[in-house]
Structure 1
Amino acid sequence: MKPMLRIVHLFCRLLQRERLNRENVIEEYKINSRTFDRDISDIRNVLSELHARDELIYDRNDKCYYLSRGGLQDFTGMDVMAILKVLLGSRALCHDEMMGMVDAIRSLLPYEDRKALYYAIEDELKNYIEPMHGKAILELQWRINKSIIDKQKIQIIYTKADGKRIERDVLPVNIVFAEFYFYLVAFRDESEYEYPAFFRLDRIESIKVLGKVGENPLYTNFRYSDMRPAVQFMYAGELLEIKLRCKKSALEAVVDRVPKYEIIQEKDESVLLKVTAFGEGFIRWAAMQGESVEILAPQELRQRMGQWFTKVAEIYMQEVKEK
C-alpha cells in the first residue's frame, strides 16, 4: 500500500473511533516501527493544520493510539447499547430507516465495541418488525422541524383514522413521540384553541410551507412540557380535574401515566387521588386498567366510562355465530 493511502486509511480508522495498537498495525501493513512513528506524526500534523478539536492520544496501558473528542465525553458501549435497545423497542421507524439509524449510532464506537454490540442486538435486528404504516418519516420530520424553527405556517394533507383525507392550515409548535408513533403538535389556523391538535406524521401525505407567521403568542406562550403530563395517547380536548380510586397495586401505573396528581386518601388496598388530564385520552387509558381504576368525578366522565363498559359487555355476552 502506498504511504499516503496507508496514512489516509489509518486516519479513517481513527475517525471511526478504532484504537490502533502499534504492533498490530506494524504487522498488518508490513511496515517497520520508524515508518509507523512517521505516520502517527503526519496524522498529528494534519489535525494541527485543520485546527481540529480532536487530539491523537497514546494509551500506555493497552499501547494503543486513539482520537480524543476535544474534551467531549465519548459514548461507551453501555451508552450505545441502552440507546439502541430503546430505539429498537420503540418500533418507531420503518425497517430501512431503523437499520440506517442503528448503523449510524454504532459507528460512534470503536471497532471492537461495535462487534460486541452487534452480538448483543443481533436477534432484535434480524427480527425487527416495522410499524404497519411502513412509511419513511425522518425527512418529513426534519422538514417540519425546520418550519417550527423558522415559525412558518404550513398546509398539510392528512388522512384520518377513518380514511378521510383532509386539508389543514396549521401552526406547528412541536414534534413528539408516544405509543409507537411520531406526532406533529400544531394549532389549527382557522380557529382559536387553547390547546393544539395532534397529527400522526405517518398520516401526513404532504406539506406546503405557507410563509412566516411573524410574532405570534403561540410561539412564546406555548410550552409542550406544561401540557405533556396531562396527555394520554396524544388526545387533547378539554383539560379536566379527575377524581379516581385505584388499587394500590395500580398506583405506580397511574402516577407514571399522569404525573399531575394529588393523593387525597390512602386505605388498606386502595388510594383516592386527583389527577389533571385531558378527558378523551384519559378514558381510553383508564378503560385499559379494568377494575384497578375507577373514575369518581366528574360525573359526566364517569357516565361515559360506564357506557363504554356496557357496550363492551354487550358484545361479549352475545354468542359468537360462526358463518
Structure 2
Amino acid sequence: MNAAYRQLTIFQALMTGHLVKKTELANQFHVSPRVIQRDFSQIRQFITEQHLLYQLSYRRQLGGYQLITTQDSVSKQTILILIKIALASRALTRPEMTQTINGLLALISPEDQAEIQPIIKNERFYYQPVHHGRSLRQMVWQLSRYITQKQSITITYTRQRGEFVTRTILPEAIIFSEYYFYVIAYNPRYHQNLFYRVDRIRDLKTTQQVITRTRAERVEEGAMRQFLQYMQPGKKITLQFKFWGIPEAALDRFPTAKITTRYPDEQAVLITTSTFDTGAKMWLLSQGANVQVVAPHDFATEIQQELTRMLARYQS
C-alpha cells in the first residue's frame, strides 16, 4: 500500500467522524508511528492549501486525532427539532420524508445520529403523510426558481371538485400552511393574487407572456402571514372578539392580535386583530362557545347566520 492510499484512507476515517490513533494506524498499515505522524502533517497541509473548513485536532483525553469543523455547525438539538417539525407537517410522501430525515442526520456526527435515532424511531415508523400522495420537493424547487427569475408559467390545475383548468400566472411566493404547500401567484385574468395548492398542479411550463403588476399587487409573504388563516385570504378586517379560552391560543393564531380588555369576573378577554375574514371565520367557528364576535357588526351577523345553519343540520 503506497503513502497516498494510506493517507486517503486515514482522511476518509476522519471525515466520517472517527477518532484515529497513531499506534493503531501504525499497526494496521505495518508502518512506524513516525510515518503516521508524517501522514497527519500531509493531511494538515492539504486542509490548509484547499481552504477546507476543518482542523485536525489531537484529543488528549481520548488519545487520538479528530477533524473539528471551523464553521458554525448545526447542533444535534437543532436537527432533532427540524426532524420533529418535518414529521408533524405530514407534507411529504414517505420516501421523501426518509430522504429528508437522512439528509438532516448526515449533517451531524455518527455519535449524534445514534443519539437521535431512538428518539424519532416511533414517529418515523407511524408516519402518515397526507392523502394526495404526490412528490413535491422537485415541484417546490422548480416554482421557487421561477419566482427568483420572475418567470411567468402556464399550469394545469385541479380545482377542489376535480375540475381541470389552465391558468397563466406569475408565481410570487411559496408558503407552507396546515399540511400543504401553496404558491401565491398573480393571475392577470382576475387582476389579483390567488392561492394554488402545489399538489394540485398537474403540469406546468414556462410561457413568453409578460405579466406586469402594480406595486400594490406585489406579494410580501412575510407580511401576508400576519393576516392569513388556513390560507384563505378573503377581505381584510379589524376583528374584535371576546374569548373565554386560553388567550395564548388566540394570540398565536392571529400574529397581530392584542388583548385590549380583560374581564376577570368572566375569565374572558377582548382581543383585537387585523386579519382576513374567511380564514378567521373558520377558526372562530371551531372555538364553539369560547368565542363571541363583537366587531365588525356585519361579520358578527355572518357568524350568527352560519351558526343558525349549523344548528339546523342537527334539528332536521
TM over 0.5, shorter chain: yes
Contact 1:152-1:212 within 8 A present in 2 as well: no
Residue identity opposite 1:12 in structure 2: Q
CA distance in 2, matches of 1:289, 1:261: 16
Verify: 1:251 aligned to 2:247, yes or no.
yes
CA distance in 2, matches of 1:264, 1:216: 38
Q: 1:134 to 1:107 in 2, by over 3 A?
A: same
Partner of 1:112 in structure 2?
A: 111
1:27 shift after superposition = 8.3
CA distance in 2, matches of 1:263, 1:39: 66
**Paired residue secondary structure (1:198):** strand
Partner of 1:228 in structure 2?
A: 225
- Deviations along 1:247-304, whole A, 9 cap, x unmatched? 1x33211111111124332112111222111111111111111111221222332232
**Paired residue secondary structure (1:113):** helix
CA distance in 2, matches of 1:262, 1:73: 37
Deviates more, 1:31-40 or 1:91-100: 31-40
Matches within 5 A, 1:147-162: 147-162=146-161
Contact 1:75-1:108 within 8 A present in 2 as well: yes
Contact 1:154-1:171 within 8 A present in 2 as well: yes
Deviates more, 1:18-27 or 1:177-186: 18-27
Residue identity opposite 1:227 in structure 2: M
Verify: 1:184 aligned to 2:183, yes or no.
yes
Verify: 1:242 aligned to 2:219, yes or no.
no
- Deviations along 1:128-163, whole A, 9 cap, x unmatched? 112211111010111110011111111111112211
Contact 2:23-2:33 within 8 A present in 1 as well: no
1:95 shift after superposition = 0.6
Residue 261 of structure 2: which of 251, 265, 269 is its match? 265
Q: How many residues get paired?
A: 313
Deviates more, 1:24-33 or 1:127-136: 24-33
CA distance in 1, matches of 2:33, 2:212: 65
Contact 1:19-1:64 within 8 A present in 2 as well: no
CA RMSD of aligned residues (A): 2.5
User: Which blocks of at least 5 consecutive residues in structure 2 are unaligned?
Assistant: none
Deviates more, 1:264-273 or 1:134-143: 264-273
**Paired residue secondary structure (1:186):** strand
Q: 1:166 to 1:2 in 2, by over 3 A?
A: farther
**Paired residue secondary structure (2:45):** helix
**Paired residue secondary structure (2:273):** strand
Residue identity opposite 1:304 in structure 2: E
Matches within 5 A, 1:47-58: 47-58=47-58
1:47 shift after superposition = 2.0
Partner of 1:321 in structure 2?
A: none
**Paired residue secondary structure (1:56):** strand
Matches within 5 A, 1:283-322: 283-318=281-316
Q: 1:262 to 1:14 in 2, by over 3 A?
A: same
- Give the TM-score taking structure 1 as reference length: 0.87
Residue identity opposite 2:41 in structure 1: S
CA distance in 1, matches of 2:47, 2:172: 41
Matches within 5 A, 1:50-69: 50-69=50-69
Q: 1:40 to 1:131 in 2, by over 3 A?
A: farther
Contact 2:251-2:258 within 8 A present in 1 as well: no
Contact 2:233-2:278 within 8 A present in 1 as well: yes
CA distance in 1, matches of 2:7, 2:305: 73
Q: 1:28 to 1:291 in 2, by over 3 A?
A: farther
CA distance in 2, matches of 1:27, 1:88: 45
- Deviations along 1:97-143, whole A, 9 cap, x unmatched? 11001111101111111112111111112221122111110101111
1:30 shift after superposition = 5.5
Q: 1:57 to 1:272 in 2, by over 3 A?
A: same
Contact 2:240-2:270 within 8 A present in 1 as well: yes
Q: 1:53 to 1:272 in 2, by over 3 A?
A: same
Q: 1:126 to 1:5 in 2, by over 3 A?
A: farther
1:9 shift after superposition = 3.6
